[in-house]
């Protein structure tokens, strides 16, 4: 059990991670282990049917640093859609979004717990080495380590990983929606495309596959992987995972939905 965890992980920490996954599945509204429970627990998802994995073209948005784009570490959001303002709920959600930087690899993530458990994509961290830095929305940075990695080769549903930030507490945490958006509803992505932190883009949900993958036309780039897809209330409805111009319905981005997270995030613990 917990085969992907490093040998130095303490038993208490393992129990915390396992409890986190269990609560996400069961939709429990209170957190008994963490003393500073985050709002993600209060927003715990209702139970949904298990879903079968699908195979997406392996065009995962790479975490490699791109040439020619500076690393813009700004405290405010940058809107790539040319809008002069960002909805307040989306701006507030940015407080629970992080940028992860490893060895020639970069990506995004969402804060699950107030003591620094972060959810991201496995393809972001798999080849990024053992030393990671997490940058928060306020510009502060802390070291972090990967504690669980799914196998992207098995399918998009397993493109998940957990990262533990060192020496933090009382962090703002992500809120997860209790329903998926409908086709045509606006959605927002926040992440660190090409290493530029705090970038937001707006798009539209085009389709939800029978397997629970969200297909959107939201503009994302390498570095957005692992970051949240948000509804108009600033709640996480998915984790941005792939750029694929071959998707149906004028969509070019695939996100792992919250309904899929319920089923597959606990499998990381096995």
- Of 61, 96, 225, 257, the catalytic one is 225
Domain ranges of the chain: 11-56+97-174+260-269
- What are the tens digits of pLDDT across the range 168-185? 999 999 999 999 999 999
Q: Report residue 81's pLDDT band, with 50, 70 and 90 as the boundaries.
A: low
Q: Find all residues with CB under 8 Å of 153, minimum gap 6, and list them.
A: none
pLDDT at residue number 151:
86
Does residue 252 carry a catalytic annotation?
A: no
pLDDT attached to residue 86: 85
For 189-209, what is the mean pLDDT? Answer: 95
pLDDT of residue 145: 96
Residue 80: predicted pLDDT? 66
Which residue's structure tokens are 């609560």?
A: 23
Confidence of residue 246 (pLDDT cuts 50, 70, 90): confident
Active site residue 123: yes
Q: Among candidates 94, 118, 121, 117, which has minimal Cα distance to 106? A: 121
> Which ranges of the chain does DSSP label H, i.e. alpha helix?
11-26, 39-42, 88-93, 122-125, 258-264
Whether 221 is a known active-site residue: answer no
Round to the nearest angstrom and report the end-to-end CA distance of the chain.
5
Q: Which of 37-41, 133-137, 195-199 has the lowest mean pLDDT?
A: 37-41
Residues with Cβ within 8 Å of residue 94, at least 6 apart in sequence: 77, 137, 190, 198, 200
Name the catalytic one among 114, 122, 159, 257: 159
Distances (CA, A) of 244 to 129, 154, 182, 248, 260: 26, 18, 21, 10, 19
Token pair of 115 as six digits: 């003591």
40 compared with 155, residue with greater pLDDT: 155
Average pLDDT of the chain is 75
The answer on pLDDT for 141 being more than 60 is: yes
**Residue 258 vs residue 63, higher pLDDT:** 258
Is 3.40.50.11890 the CATH classification of the domain at 11-56+97-174+260-269? no
Choose the catalytic residue: 61, 123, 252, 257: 123
pLDDT digits (tens, 9 = 90+) for 85-103: 789 999 999 999 999 999 8
Q: pLDDT digits over 16-55, tens only?
A: 444 444 434 333 222 222 222 222 222 322 222 222 222 2
User: Per mean pLDDT, which of 17-26, 39-48, 123-132, 260-269 is the most reliable?
Assistant: 123-132
């Amino acid at each position: 059990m917990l085969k992907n965890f490093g040998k130095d992980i303490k038993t208490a920490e393992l129990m915390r991670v396992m409890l986190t996954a269990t609560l996400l599945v069961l939709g429990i509204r209170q957190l008994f282990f963490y003393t500073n429970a985050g709002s993600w627990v209060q927003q715990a998802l209702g139970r949904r049917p298990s879903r079968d994995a699908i195979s997406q073209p392996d065009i995962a948005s790479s975490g490699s640093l791109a040439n020619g784009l500076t690393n813009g570490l700004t405290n405010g959001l940058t809107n790539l859609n040319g809008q002069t303002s960002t909805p307040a709920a989306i701006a507030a959600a940015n407080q629970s979004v992080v940028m992860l930087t490893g060895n020639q690899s970069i990506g995004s993530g969402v804060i699950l717990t107030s003591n620094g458990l972060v959810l991201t994509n496995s393809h972001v961290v798999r080849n990024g080495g053992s030393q990671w830095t997490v940058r928060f929305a306020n510009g502060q940075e802390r070291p972090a380590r990967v504690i669980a990695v799914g196998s992207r080769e098995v399918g998009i549903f397993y493109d998940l990983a957990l990262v533990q930030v060192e020496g933090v507490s009382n962090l703002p945490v992500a809120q997860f929606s209790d329903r998926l958006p409908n086709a045509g509803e606006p959605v927002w992505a926040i992440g660190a495309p090409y290493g530029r932190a705090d970038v937001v883009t707006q798009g539209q949900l085009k389709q939800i596959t029978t397997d629970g993958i969200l297909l959107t036309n939201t503009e994302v780039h390498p570095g957005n992987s692992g970051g949240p897809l948000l509804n108009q209330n600033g709640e996480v409805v998915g984790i941005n995972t792939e750029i694929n111009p071959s998707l149906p319905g004028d969509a070019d981005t695939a996100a792992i939905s919250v309904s899929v997270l319920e089923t597959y995030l606990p499998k990381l613990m096995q």
